Amino acid sequence: MSTTRDETALSTQPVPEGEAGGGGGRRDGSVTLPSLGPVGWLRYAWRQLTSMRTALFLLLLLAVAAIPGSTFPQRSIDAARTTQWITDHPTAGPLLDRLGFFEVYAAPWFAAIYLLLFVSLIGCVAPRSRIHWHQVRSTPPRAPRRLERLAAHRELTVDGTPDVVRDRLRARLRSRRYRVHAHDDTTLSAEKGYLKESGNLVFHLALIGVLLGVAWGHLLGWKGDVILPVGQTFANTLSRYDTFSPGPWVDPTDLDPYTIRLDRMDVQFETQDKGRGQFGMPRDFRAFTTVTDASGHSEPREIAVNHPLETGGGSVFLLGNGYAPHITVRDADGTVIYSDATPFLPQDNNYTSVGAVKVPGAQPDELGFAGFFLPTGVIDDQRGPHSIFPDTADPQLALTAFEGKLFPNGAPQSVYTLNTSAMKPLPGKDGEGQLRILLRPGQTFDLPDQRGSITFDGVERFAGLSIRTDPGKTLTLVSALLALAGLVLSLVVRRRRVFVRVRPAPEDGRTVVSVGGLAKDDDEGMDDELAAVLTAPEGSR
């Protein structure tokens, strides 16, 4: 690898006493640290942080630090699953929670790595960009005195005077996209391949753009999830979200006003058993909606998997679907105290779903029902209630009933589970065991001791919608494409220098041409490059 004039100058400059970056050695073999003042230590730390080696190490460290984010459940994505994981691992769970492994991307240690990488890249790329700018504007260096010492060298005698031959070689070098400069009447200096360093700088600048885009999206972006049964309307307000995760600089009360009504949910499953385990597999999910903007304009829109609905307030993704049995609960006088489509959460590929019905208006004690919705229900002694097909071929509702306090101490709880710590199960027939209810659409079950009744009216589908706003996604995408382009340029383009010297030959009318070549990296094609340059002069021998 060749050494530029700047590199040579830097390598031969004396190091001032007290500012050396490394340790000092003694004759007895011991090593002592240099005596640095506060300013010297700051300069040393800055040089280490802004080195390319440190930037690459921090980039690798950031990738390693992101692994827990895909290994452990994240509280911002699935709080219930995170809580369950911590409960199932009483030793490791609380420790990992204190270390931030369940909120990796919001953890202080992850932010520290992120910021250090950002500073390191800027401190590394900014000086290199300035140096590269000056190199692009400067002329190629003078030809060395002895070209035969270069890695690639050729010499031949050609017809023509030195001026004519030199003009031919100048034209040939320019045709091969070299930048050519003559420092005197007998030499040419040519250089090309600046795009290699430009691509390298673009790659690193694009990495900074990616970091900025991700940070911008984190600070000003937000994500919310909502379960929307067919026939219901979602308004883009904070109170309508089931979960909402705003960025640090987001005002949750300042959301773009619009509504989405779920008109129909089409789900297709494989109904043919073709002997390849495809029976019951999902084939297509589509949500047909009506979107109304702030001005009152409504239009039908369709949401499919990997085809989100774009609105002024974010992108609406279809992440899931399931069933919402419509259940009605009446008191002993027949008054309706609960009537709604209640979403049940699917647990397997056949949509065996769990859920809870909470009736706070029941008297004298509040009522709660927990159990399973089975699209195609089967109950056996080994597996209990379960579904054997994901579509509603034989829908059934298997529930157990409780009475007491639904929300002890006012603590929040999942809509899919029932907190029975302050409740007791309703007794079964003749006061023995626990009351178990099995309903099909249209059936009603009378609760014991004049507690009322519960009716399974029918089945509706629901769509699991995730609404996300990421203002930095465009910058991140553009930066990623630029990083790819810069990487390709840095790998493909060759940085080469060619030096030419001409002198009169002993024979009249002939010229001796000496050509030498240098490459920044190992370049096995340098000899072929010199041969291609020398094809222009005629009468060579």
Please tell me the distance from the alpha carbon of residue 470 to that of residue 316, in angstroms, as a whole number. Answer: 12
Tokens read off for 445: 């079950």
Q: What is the pLDDT of residues 255-276, one digit of tens each?
A: 999 999 999 999 888 777 655 5
Is the predicted pLDDT of residue 220 greater than 80, yes or no? yes
| Average pLDDT in the chain | 86
Q: What is the mean pLDDT of residues 41-56?
A: 87
pLDDT at res. 276:
59
Question: How, if at all, do strands 444-446 and 187-192 pair?
Answer: unpaired
Among 270-274, 409-413, 419-423, the least confident range? 270-274
Q: pLDDT: is 111 or 274 the higher one?
A: 111
> Could you tell me which residues come within 8 angstroms of residue 520 by beta carbon, excluding any fewer than 6 positions away?
1, 2, 193, 196, 494, 495, 496
pLDDT at res. 27:
53
Is the predicted pLDDT of residue 5 greater than 50, yes or no? no
422: phi > 0 → left, psi -120 to 50 → alpha, else beta; which? Answer: alpha
Please tell me the distance from the alpha carbon of residue 527 to that of residue 68, in angstroms, as a whole number. Answer: 51
CA 215-310-211 angle, 5° bins: 15
Q: What is the pLDDT of residues 144-156, one digit of tens each?
A: 999 999 989 999 9
> What is the Cα gyration radius of the chain?
37
Is the predicted pLDDT of residue 2 greater than 50, yes or no? no
Tokens read off for 411: 């603590």
Is the predicted pLDDT of residue 178 greater than 90, yes or no? yes
pLDDT at res. 274:
59
Q: What is the mean pLDDT of residues 413-425?
A: 89
pLDDT at res. 525:
87
Q: What is the mean pLDDT of residues 340-347?
A: 92
Q: Please state, as a whole number, how many other Cβ atoms lie within 10 Å of the Cβ of residue 219.
A: 13
Tokens read off for 421: 């710590």
Q: Please state, as a whole number, how many other Cβ atoms lie within 10 Å of the Cβ of residue 85.
A: 17
Is the predicted pLDDT of residue 84 greater than 90, yes or no? no
pLDDT at res. 19:
41
pLDDT at res. 33:
53
pLDDT at res. 356:
95
Q: How confident is the model at residue 467 (pLDDT cuts 50, 70, 90)?
A: very high
Is the predicted pLDDT of residue 4 greater than 80, yes or no? no
pLDDT at res. 269:
84
pLDDT at res. 3:
39
Among 18-22, 205-209, 235-239, 533-537, the least confident range? 18-22
E strand intervals along 240-335 = 243-246, 259-269, 282-292, 298-304, 309-311, 314-330
Is the predicted pLDDT of residue 412 greater than 90, yes or no? no
Is the predicted pLDDT of residue 16 greater than 50, yes or no? no
Q: What is the pLDDT of residues 310-327, one digit of tens each?
A: 987 789 999 889 999 999
pLDDT at res. 277:
57
